[in-house]
Structure 1
Amino acid sequence: MDLELRHLKTIRAIADAGSLTRAAMALGLAQPALSTQLKRIERTLGGPLFTRGRHGVRPTALGELVLDRAGVLLPAARELQEEAVRFARAWDGMPRFRLGGTHGPLLGGLVDRLAASHPGVAVTTRTSWSEREIAALVVEGRVDFALVGACGESPPPAADRLVWREIAVDPVFVMLGRDHPLADRNQVELGQLAEESWTDVPGDGCFADCFAAACARSGFTPVRVYETDTASCVHLVQVGRAVGLCRATFPPTPGLVTRPLAGAPLRWRHLIGWHPGAPAAGVATSVVGHARAAHTEAAARSTSYTRWLAEHPGFGAVPPTAIGCHDSV
């Protein structure tokens, strides 16, 4: 019998589980079948790979050697497969921009700029509430660029697999109905909203925890938070059912106003990412520039944010020549 990658995966699974019974469950096999398979692998490799005892199995010296080599071969094989799939999906001789993004105005702005600057080139989009899902699509070669956000200083998803560039840093604003008692304020203290219900869009980052922590620092716990889509968030604010959390670039909308929170207790970093080994890497600099310009255009459409930016120069689009501390590979 020749040694195959699936055999190394089996050995790795047994070592990780610490027992044949648990490994069999993880692999979806009957325990006797796994024992038989292990014996065949051990005959192929020339000796026992594990010692068996009352508390499970432990690698032998030979087992440690094989596991050490498997730790190199299995990731290399996975990366080869991913690279081949990514190449096959991303490069068929036809120029195109495949964008993945979460909710927000920047994705639409980037699509508009790319379509205008590259007429005749296909620009397609994939959207999800999940930043991790969007990043995974780039890793798999199904999307060329990921346009996502991250709260505060939290790292972007798949930071060890993708190149990330910071597009802009925005404060988080609050959406208020036009008849709200605080709607005429230039800024709002978070503590002034302690008795309010809140609404926000979903996501799989740490924003919910960051919001809860900011509220705690202001001395309260939110009464309730309605997590729903953008249109429903707007409706709940318009009818006075809740106040909303939004990015500072949120476009003007009938029936509501957006106001900065005093002291900017919550920040949102806009990021764009791509795979360094994909063909898209060759046009990444241009796409980053378009994304930053799209943010500048979105910010200019918000009177409240334009006024706030004039007094807070550390926010807004990242200058083209800046290399931020969040740039990473």
Structure 2
Amino acid sequence: MKLDERHLLQLAAVVRAGSVTEGAASIGMSQPAVSRTLAMLEKRLGEPLFLKGRRPLQPTPLGRALAEHGQTMLLASRKASEVVDSFRYGRTGTVRIGGTPFFMDALISGIIAEFQNAYPDVRVEQSYGYLPELQAGIHADRLDLAICPMAILDEGSGLVFTEILPGRNVVACRSTHPLLLRRKLSTSELLDFPWIAPPPGSPLLADLHSLLLSLGATEINVRYSGGSLTSAMIYLKGTDALTVLPHGVVFAFRKENAITALPVNVPHPQRALGLLRLANAPRAPAVDAFAGHVTEAFKSLRHLIKRHEEAVIWGA
């Protein structure tokens, strides 16, 4: 005998409440409609579902057994509703994010942690890459979102870019670097020291070459290259080497008081850090929630970074 699952759900609600009226209300139905369902079910089964004359209602053994199955379905239905609501409001899901290594490690990793404190059931899958790889990953549906520096978005790319931080480079060094002792620092003195070169493919590598060319250098004394942000920072703290970094990265390490920026004006890239995603991406509430969280976080960071820049670099 095949039974209608909806009838079992109604039976379970009544058994749990001990009353047809309260059981009907708990599942958003009227008392007469549920009463008709129970009467029809008893007629089809040829067996009573409740003991006569008992208040609150008490199920018969058959009524209790069927109500248990209905309760399982009722819980599953409510769980499914919770899943839908959580997805709809961005509380569950997966965010696949890629980004340039130095920014991801220095700034974005902490923002991801803050986001997951507020959205603990959202899974974040993070990877590294530079602009060409990130664009390919978005188009191939391997990434939902990229956080990277870029200049002009090609027309017809099918992507949309939202700026979160303007481009600003500095010459970074350890906090005890001898150049910091100079009362008036000449940019030509930068060529007296070795340099750390960013990894191949990094836009910072092109920025380094542009800077050194602007200083009139015909040859670059690169002593270390290709390392991660962590290895570059450790090397920088242990030597008198210099390197080009986004000011936001130097700002992220300000509390360690181990690295800083030299008070020299250097060429800044025609780029901005921002969020890159498909222009007509399918709705993904968790991705929207994450993108909104990153945008809000950088609204505060922009102000703090600007103050740090004025006080530490150009205020010198």
**The TM-score by the shorter chain falls in which range?**
0.5 to 0.7
Tell me the secondary structure at the aligned position of residue 149 of structure 2: strand
Conserved? CA contact 1:188–1:259, under 8 Å: no
Specify the alignment match of 1:98 in structure 2: 96
Shift of 1:276: 2.1
Specify the alignment match of 2:120 in structure 1: 119
Cα distance per residue 1:99-134 (max 9 Å; x no partner): 111222232133134323433222221123x22212
Conserved? CA contact 1:162–1:273, under 8 Å: yes
Instruction: Give the letter for the 2:277 counterpart.
Output: W
Shift of 1:155: 3.1
User: In 2 relative to 1, CA 243–157 (structure 1 residues): closer, same or farther, beyond 3 Å?
Assistant: farther
Distance 2:222 2:258 in 1: 20
Instruction: Give the letter for the 1:291 counterpart.
Output: V
Tell me the secondary structure at the aligned position of residue 152 of structure 2: coil
Tell me the secondary structure at the aligned position of residue 215 of structure 1: helix
User: In 2 relative to 1, CA 179–230 (structure 1 residues): closer, same or farther, beyond 3 Å?
Assistant: same
Tell me the secondary structure at the aligned position of residue 208 of structure 2: helix
Conserved? CA contact 1:135–1:157, under 8 Å: no
Specify the alignment match of 1:138 in structure 2: 138
Distance 2:112 2:156 in 1: 24
1:270 aligns with 2:270: no
Tell me the secondary structure at the aligned position of residue 135 of structure 1: helix
Shift of 1:297: 5.2
1:231 aligns with 2:234: no
Shift of 1:208: 2.5
Q: With the length of structure 1 as denominator, give the TM-score of the two structures.
A: 0.54
1:291 aligns with 2:290: no
Distance 1:159 1:110 in 2: 31
Tell me the secondary structure at the aligned position of residue 254 of structure 2: coil
Instruction: Give the letter for the 1:238 counterpart.
Output: K
Cα distance per residue 1:152-193 (max 9 Å; x no partner): xx3358971311111111421222223311235799654321
User: In 2 relative to 1, CA 187–127 (structure 1 residues): closer, same or farther, beyond 3 Å?
Assistant: farther
1:252 aligns with 2:222: no
- Greater share of helix residues, 1 or 2? 2
User: In 2 relative to 1, CA 272–245 (structure 1 residues): closer, same or farther, beyond 3 Å?
Assistant: same
Which moves more between the two structures, 165-174 or 218-227? 218-227
Alignment of 1:107-186 (within 5 A): 107-128=108-129, 130-150=130-150, 154-155=151-152, 160-184=157-181
Instruction: Give the letter for the 2:100 counterpart.
Output: T
CA RMSD of aligned residues (A): 3.6
Conserved? CA contact 2:172–2:245, under 8 Å: yes
Cα distance per residue 1:246-277 (max 9 Å; x no partner): 22122137573311553341235202111123
Which moves more between the two structures, 161-170 or 224-233? 224-233
Cα distance per residue 1:217-241 (max 9 Å; x no partner): 2222432263221122112222215
**Percent same amino acid among aligned pairs?**
18
Conserved? CA contact 1:135–1:158, under 8 Å: no
1:305 aligns with 2:305: no
Q: With the length of structure 2 as denominator, give the TM-score of the two structures.
A: 0.56
Conserved? CA contact 1:97–1:123, under 8 Å: yes
Alignment of 1:3-42 (within 5 A): none
Distance 2:184 2:232 in 1: 20
Instruction: Give the letter for the 2:180 counterpart.
Output: A
Distance 2:290 2:313 in 1: 24
Tell me the secondary structure at the aligned position of residue 194 of structure 1: helix
Instruction: Give the letter for the 1:276 counterpart.
Output: A
Distance 2:184 2:137 in 1: 39
Tell me the secondary structure at the aligned position of residue 126 of structure 2: strand
